[in-house]
Amino acid sequence: MIPDALHIELGRRYHFAASHRLHSVKLTEEENRRIYGKCNNAYGHGHNYTVEVRLSGAVDPAIGMIANLADLDAFVNEQVIEPFDHHSLQDEVSTFREIVPTTENLCMEIFQRLKAFPHAKLESVRVVETSNNSFEYAGD
């Protein structure tokens, strides 16, 4: 007999490709070059990002799931994949006109966009930028 689970977590992984240029409006040109190095080059560069989302909730006894993955996929597509995939983050995503599109900030922006998912509680967002770098945010 399986108990009624009130807290079970689900993880799902998504992918998108985007370009960014690390350039802070709070710094001078010289400071930007010194701090960000080649990541400050004028024409930017791209990454294949992986986004791992974790959500929690109770298992709905009627369907045996926390949330329908089709609903989650549709929400993530609308909030993150469509606006970000094959776009320039600082030129085409309004948040990053003023905020430097580091992967820390990207991770927090994705968390803000996904926390309104109506069928489960968003626990964390992890963004993998390269095989060496990843960032995770679970809200404050």
Selected catalytic residue, list 23, 107, 109, 129: 129
Beta bridge partners of 65: 60
Spell out the alpha helix ranges (H) of 37-100. Answer: 69-76, 82-84, 89-92, 95-98
Sheet holding 45-57, edge to edge: 87-88, 8-20, 45-57, 121-128, 134-137
Distance CA 76, CA 62 (A): 24
Active site residue 86: yes
Active site residue 107: no
Distance CA 122, CA 130 (A): 24
Active site residue 129: yes
Selected catalytic residue, list 39, 52, 87, 104: 39
Selected catalytic residue, list 7, 15, 45, 86: 86
Distance CA 12, CA 69 (A): 9
Q: Which residues are catalytic?
A: 39, 86, 129
